[in-house]
């Protein structure tokens, strides 16, 4: 009887515990279980081509913190081009940007071509300052087996290991101060695997897998459009196998998801956020599935207070210099159109004319040129600050003048328009020179394996080239054998930028160290009287583009019975002209006869 009582008591206690547990379950919201189920997913926030748009880092940091309330694993990665592009980067040579990225906390960072703009020694300092070692699988010193930078990094998210493989566009060799990759004799001592890109990247993929990586994510700076096709991200994926996802940069493309087949036929998702934090990318990895999506940064309202405070402090540091007024403009000098197309890279614009004029006029050279890729922002009407000039010229290039032959100029112009009508950073704006472009012809430029100029084979697209004679103020046909002075910056004239190898070994007659941004200030104040006038309201017609071969218009035969007595000489009919001339001759004869009679 006692045992029955004990059993009954035990069952009552068990029942009470069960009811309490049930009540607790009822009080817990269902969303808690949903969040716990989602927490095993991995979230990777990604960006590319930030170009010093520093405010975006505050938003990406805030979003990261917010997501950590729901997900156990949230990472952040960059596909390059972060230290250059605005005044904050130029003044600090990337230091301000690196400090801000460290505050966000990145899992992996790839190198863009513009990370090399402050030269290789500075890049090594930047790499040491970053809390995360940057990755690049395809940058080598010649005759060395291992890449200069770490080819990939593996990060653990719980039980999942992800390898991030960095890839930098091979056109960095010519698009970012080529001289830094050469020896004193002008021979390349470094390479970006331009002839074997897929092989270099495949080696990194295989190595990461052998280390136990569960997933392979590419953080590439190659581009999906308006880039060299053989070095596009599509071409890389087509010729490799092993990528699960590729987060790309360089072409500033907005790509939420592009599906590309790899060498084995597997589909790889590609995504890119645009530029300057137009969007933030969000990659969700869930049990082997990969979803990419883009979040417009303007839709995010939360920011990181610590990063906001830091940004405010550094802006105060350079505000005295950057905000001083250097002049004013009566016109808007255009960089792009209303749709965001970068006119400066394939069209003669008033901004390009202004910048090219500054090089020619300030230095006194025969010709001034500036590549479209070297101009990074437009100038509006009204007061112009030093910061605004620095936004136009953010690279800290120095002003140079060299002596070149007419033939070198002709080759240089062919290189300039080789990609026309596509956007290309090597498109040159000119001053003291005019020419005609036969756009209907294919480019005759032959490139070497590094996509630098090698020769011209075939009919030239550029013709009718004329150079301004400063004494007569007339434009005269260029003389292939004559020597001219050419003004631009060190990137083009000394560093063989944009593959301008035809300028090698040119005689340097000026390399004073003046910055290009200082040149603009001097031009505005000392040559334009402090005002950019309406002289620059429109582009000045220095390039004539022909879209089809020119043919003489047909001349119609006038009707025999038609009254042509009033046809102007400009039409090609001179009968009216001859009649007037006869009357004048008769009148003159009568006057002369009267004078003789009077004598």
Domains by residue range for the chain, with CATH: 30-309 (3.60.21.10), 323-546 (3.90.780.10)
In sequence order, what E strands does 193-288 have?
A: 215-221, 245-249, 254-261, 267-273, 279-286
Cα 492 to Cα 595: distance, rounded to the nearest angstrom:
72
Contact between 93 and 85 under an 8 Å Cβ cutoff? The reply is no
How many helices and strands in the chain, by DSSP H and E?
A: 16, 27
The secondary element (H helix, E strand) that includes residue 507 is strand 507-510
Query: 3-class SS at 101?
Result: helix
Of the candidates 80, 102, 84, 82, the one whose C-alpha atom is nearest the C-alpha of residue 93 is 84
Which structure tokens are listed for 362?
Answer: 């300030």
Contact between 208 and 216 under an 8 Å Cβ cutoff? The reply is yes
Preceding omega of 189 cis (within 30 degrees of 0): no
Per-residue pLDDT of the chain (599 residues; tens, 9 = 90+): 444 545 455 545 545 554 544 444 444 444 443 344 456 899 999 999 999 999 999 999 999 999 999 999 999 999 999 998 877 888 888 999 999 999 999 999 999 999 998 889 999 999 999 999 999 999 999 999 999 999 999 999 999 999 999 999 999 998 877 889 999 888 999 999 999 999 999 999 999 999 999 999 999 999 999 899 999 999 999 999 999 999 999 999 999 999 999 999 999 999 999 999 999 999 999 989 999 999 999 999 999 999 999 999 998 887 777 888 999 999 999 998 888 889 999 999 999 999 999 999 999 999 999 999 999 999 999 999 998 999 999 888 889 999 999 999 999 999 999 999 999 999 999 999 999 999 999 999 999 988 899 999 999 999 999 999 999 999 999 999 999 999 999 999 988 888 999 998 899 998 877 889 989 999 999 999 999 999 999 999 999 999 999 766 665 444 444 333 332 222 233 333 334 344 444 444 444 444 444 44
Cα 599 to Cα 596: distance, rounded to the nearest angstrom:
5
At CA 449, angle to CA 446 and CA 455, rounded to 5? 25
Distances 90 to 117, 118, 145, 343 between C-alpha atoms, Å: 10, 9, 34, 24
The secondary element (H helix, E strand) that includes residue 364 is none
Residues in the chain: 599
Cα 488 to Cα 319: distance, rounded to the nearest angstrom:
28
């Amino acid at each position: 009887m006692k045992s029955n009582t004990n059993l009954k008591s035990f069952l009552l206690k068990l029942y009470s515990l069960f009811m309490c547990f049930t009540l607790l379950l009822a009080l817990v919201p269902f969303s808690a279980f949903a969040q716990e189920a989602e927490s095993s997913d991995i979230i990777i926030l990604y960006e590319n081509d930030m170009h010093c748009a520093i405010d975006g880092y505050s938003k990406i940091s805030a979003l990261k913190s917010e997501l950590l309330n729901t997900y156990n694993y949230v990472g952040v990665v960059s596909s390059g081009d972060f230290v250059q592009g605005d005044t904050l980067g130029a003044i600090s040579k990337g230091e301000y940007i690196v400090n801000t990225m460290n505050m966000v906390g990145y899992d992996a960072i790839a190198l863009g071509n513009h990370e090399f703009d402050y030269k290789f020694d500075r890049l090594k300092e930047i790499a040491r300052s970053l809390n995360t070692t940057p990755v690049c699988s395809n940058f080598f010193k010649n005759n060395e087996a291992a890449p200069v930078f770490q080819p990939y990094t593996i990060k653990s998210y719980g039980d999942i290991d992800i390898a991030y493989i960095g890839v930098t566009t091979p056109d960095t060799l010519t698009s970012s101060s080529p001289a830094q990759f050469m020896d004193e004799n002008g021979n390349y001592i470094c390479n970006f695997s331009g002839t074997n890109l897929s092989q270099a990247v495949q080696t990194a993929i295989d190595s990461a897998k052998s280390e136990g990586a569960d997933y392979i994510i590419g953080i590439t700076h190659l581009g999906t459009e308006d880039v060299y096709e053989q070095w596009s991200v599509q071409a890389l994926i087509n010729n490799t196998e092993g990528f699960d996802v590729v987060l790309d940069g360089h072409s500033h493309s907005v790509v939420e998801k592009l599906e590309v087949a790899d060498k084995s036929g597997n589909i790889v998702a590609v995504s890119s956020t645009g530029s300057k934090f137009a969007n933030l990318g969000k990659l969700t990895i869930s049990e082997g599935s990969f979803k990419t999506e883009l979040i417009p940064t303007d839709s995010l309202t939360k920011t990181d207070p610590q990063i906001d405070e830091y940004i405010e402090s550094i802006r105060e540091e350079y505000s005295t210099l950057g905000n001083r007024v250097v002049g004013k403009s009566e016109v808007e000098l255009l960089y792009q159109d209303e749709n965001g197309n970068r006119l400066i890279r394939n069209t003669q614009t008033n901004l390009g004319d202004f910048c090219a004029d500054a090089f020619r006029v300030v230095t006194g050279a025969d010709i001034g040129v500036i590549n479209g890729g070297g101009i990074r922002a437009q100038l509006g009407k009204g007061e112009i600050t030093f910061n605004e000039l620095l936004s136009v010229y953010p690279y800290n290039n120095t002003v140079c003048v060299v002596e070149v032959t007419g033939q070198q100029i002709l080759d240089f112009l062919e290189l300039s328009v080789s990609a026309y009508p596509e956007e290309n950073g090597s498109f040159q704006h000119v001053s003291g020179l005019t020419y005609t472009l036969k756009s209907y012809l294919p480019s005759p430029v032959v490139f070497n394996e590094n996509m630098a100029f090698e020769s011209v084979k075939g009919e030239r697209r550029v013709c009718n080239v004329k150079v301004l004679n400063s004494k007569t103020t007339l434009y005269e046909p260029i003389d292939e054998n004559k020597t001219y002075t050419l003004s631009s910056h060190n990137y083009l004239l000394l560093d063989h930028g944009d593959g301008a190898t035809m300028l090698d070994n040119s005689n340097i007659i000026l390399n004073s160290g003046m910055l290009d941004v200082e040149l603009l200030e001097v031009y505005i104040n000392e040559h334009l009287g402090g005002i950019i006038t309406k002289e620059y309201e429109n582009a000045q017609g220095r390039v004539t583009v022909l879209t089809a071969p020119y043919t003489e218009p047909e001349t119609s035969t006038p009707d025999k019975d038609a009254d042509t007595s009033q046809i102007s000489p400009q039409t090609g009919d001179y009968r009216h002209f001859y009649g007037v001339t006869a009357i004048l001759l008769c009148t003159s004869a009568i006057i002369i006869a009267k004078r003789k009679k009077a004598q």
